[in-house]
Amino acid sequence: MSDIDIRKVVQEELNNIAPEVDMASVDPAADLREAIDIDSMDFLNFITAIHHRLGIDIPEIDYPKLVTLNGAVAYLMAHRKPA
């Protein structure tokens, strides 16, 4: 998967949690918890969805690396399964 594909997946899953948010307008470096108002349950649902969709294991200790759009994409790119 390319950077663009992964970004699309991340945005789709965030939109499932925050349907009213236009993800294109979210600052990719902003903390998602504030930028799109998600709580720990939302974030866990996001991690769960990404895990199911991409098959990437995301241990709890790595959560802080995924709190921005750019951070999440970079993390998932680095941990993606070989094609």
* Residue 18 binding another protein, by CB under 8 A: yes
Q: State the DSSP string of the chain.
A: --HHHHHHHHHHHHHHHSTT--GGGS-TTS-HHHHTT--HHHHHHHHHHHHHHH-----GGGGGGGSSHHHHHHHHHHHPPP-
The answer to whether 54 and 13 are in contact (CB under 8 A) is no
Residue selected from 1, 5, 9, 15 as contacting another protein according to rule CB under 8 A = 15
Distance in Å, CB of 3 to another protein, minimum: 19
* Residue 62 binding another protein, by CB under 8 A: no
* Residue 67 binding another protein, by CB under 8 A: no
* Residue 4 binding another protein, by CB under 8 A: no
Q: Give the interface with another protein as residue ranges (CB under 8 A).
A: 15-16, 18-20, 22, 33, 37, 39-41, 44-45, 47-48, 51-52, 57-61
